Amino acid sequence: MGRNVTARAHRLREMADLRGGIDLGGTKIQTAVLDPRGKVLGEARIQTPISGGPEDVAAAMAEALREAAGEAGTEPAALSGVGVGSPGGVDESTGTVTGARNLPGWNGTFELGNALEEALGTKVRVGNDVQVATEAEFHLGAGQEFGSILGVFWGTGVGGGLILDGKPWLGRGAAGEIGHMVVQRDGAKCPCGRRGCMEAYAGRAAMEAEARRQHKEGAKTDLFKLMRKHDRDRLTSGIWERALDANDHLAEDLVHRAIEALGTGVASAVNLLDVEAVILGGGLGVRFGERYMEPLMREMNKHLFRDDRPPAVRVASLGDLGGAIGASLLFAR
């Protein structure tokens, strides 16, 4: 009996150390509940609300976290904390998020941390979505063997995260915005409103806008035919892949242009920081990382000051759960 009581006390202690993570994206909210070793015990994924405001998004986040906690056999209030990876301008010290342009009605500042603490009954910390995903890769994924890494998340936009000498580098809160490294002065218009950013060439949204423009001007491509055939309303990474598999020239051109921009921007960042490794994640990064590794390294090498010893480039390994896992690590920093 003594042993049973001890085992139960031990289990209770373990359960008390469980942490939650929420990855808040423009299309989905992914949650996870993890043990102290980073093992995922429960997870849930729901669609991000497309109307309403930040309060509605916060309510949906709380609901998805409750679901993951239930799967892990616990409840939110019993967790030692819940971390959030959020887009927009994140202030880690206050848990506020400002101007998350992919989320409904989120132009101003919202106290996301406070709202979630109230809804969940436990401590909440909020971090930048890409930074926490980089931290997840550093601790548990493709970056484990390195001391300094640059995470590059190539998706709808291009985001970045930094670990320097084992520690997250946040700057004044806005470090890692590698998508807005200038790769072409007075170049293409970026979704951020400026010109010539890496994201203006490599972001999925910018690639799609350019494909539409050239298609309208008469360029031949099956991209939009494939999009309709697969019942999509945008050019997803899967649609791009199908077009490339069919040797669609416009798709090949635009992906090549994206790789050139990525190589240029990433090499510039490496020239400044000399990190040991670049971890390539995001929807396009994970799908195309291996396929375009050689051209990417070639483009990088053109611009690397020390081209005799380029950094390692690895594809992110934690998949769709990386963001939620990284968010939970906000309680392990």
Question: Residue 204 interacts with Zn ion (CB under 5 A)?
Answer: no
Distance, C-alpha 54 to centroid of its chain: 20
Long-range contacts of residues 73-78, Cβ cutoff 8 Å, at least 24 apart:
73/15, 73/41, 73/42, 74/15, 74/18, 74/33, 76/20, 76/120, 76/121, 76/122, 77/120, 77/121, 77/122, 78/15, 78/16, 78/18, 78/122
Size of the site for Zn ion (CB under 5 A): 5
Output 70 or 89, the one with its CB closest to Zn ion.
89
Question: Which residue has tokens 């690397």?
Answer: 304
| Distance (Å, whole) CA 113 – CA 127 | 10
Smallest distance, Å, CB 301 to Zn ion? 25
Smallest distance, Å, CB 78 to Zn ion? 42
Cα-Cα-Cα-Cα dihedral sign, residues 154, 159, 163, 168: negative
Output 65 or 150, the one with its CB closest to Zn ion.
150
Q: Looking at 41, 182, 192, 250, which residue binds Zn ion (CB under 5 A)?
A: 192
What binding mask, one character per residue, do residues 161-180 give for Zn ion by CB under 5 A, x or -?
-------------------x
Q: Looking at 97, 100, 120, 190, which residue binds Zn ion (CB under 5 A)?
A: 190
H-state helical runs in the chain: 2-16, 54-71, 112-120, 129-140, 199-202, 204-216, 223-229, 237-245, 249-273, 283-288, 293-303, 322-328
Q: Which of 133, 100, 62, 53 is nearest to 318 (CA)?
A: 133
Smallest distance, Å, CB 198 to Zn ion? 8
Output 83 or 285, the one with its CB closest to Zn ion.
285
Question: Residue 202 interacts with Zn ion (CB under 5 A)?
Answer: no
What binding mask, one character per residue, do residues 128-167 give for Zn ion by CB under 5 A, x or -?
----------------------------------------
Output 199 or 299, the one with its CB closest to Zn ion.
199
Smallest distance, Å, CB 158 to Zn ion? 9
Interacting residue ranges for Zn ion, rule: CB under 5 A: 180, 190, 192, 194, 197
